[in-house]
A = this chain, B = another copy of it.
């Protein structure tokens, strides 16, 4: 009863009531019979920032993974190494807090990076509970390469939404970093 705009006579079935292959779009019948593709209306979703952000985030994530596939580094791993590289000696707790990830999860991330000889945990002298995190020599070298590839990924983003829009986006969301 509230379908709104389209015709809701017998319900526009979308795709299951008609002979599937009347596939030409808009044939006089006006109402959409979305079946194969993208004529499906999103209704209220178009006004939700969360939906757009989620789709965008998925796209970005996939492009990042693809662009850095050769070095087998994912966004989270990249963020961890970047922060450690910029703040040597940080504790796991500090890294976790700064990046907003569970410390429990960071444990596994570091296990992996340490196995790959990119990061090392050094027992702290002043606080025997914590570890001082550092990049290995190879880790620093690798990170340079990672940053180059990440910059390439960032260019993909620019191509996708436009240089100016990317800038605005960063500006709008600066408070969340």
| Residue ranges of A at the interface with B (Cβ–Cβ < 8 Å) | 1-4, 8, 11-20, 31-38, 40-61, 64, 75, 79, 82-83, 85-91, 93-95, 97-98, 100, 122, 124-127, 130-132, 134, 140, 144, 147, 150, 153-154, 157, 160-161, 165-166, 168-170, 172-177
Among B87, B89, B170, point to the contact of A52 (Cβ < 8 A). B170
A172 & B161 in contact (Cβ 8 Å cutoff): yes
Given contacts A36-B94, A40-B90, 16 further A-B contacts (CB under 8 A): A4-B86, A15-B89, A15-B132, A16-B89, A16-B124, A33-B89, A34-B90, A34-B98, A35-B90, A38-B98, A40-B95, A40-B98, A41-B87, A50-B157, A53-B57, A53-B173
Query: With A89-B13, A173-B55 given, is the CB distance from A83 to B42 under 8 Å?
Result: yes
Structural contact, B87 and A34, CB atoms closer than 8 A: yes
Which residues of B have CB within 8 Å of A161?
A: 172-173, 175
Q: What residues of chain B lie closer than 8 Å to A83, measured between beta carbons?
A: 40-43, 45
Q: Which residue of chain B has the shortest Cβ distance to A63 in the bound complex?
A: B50
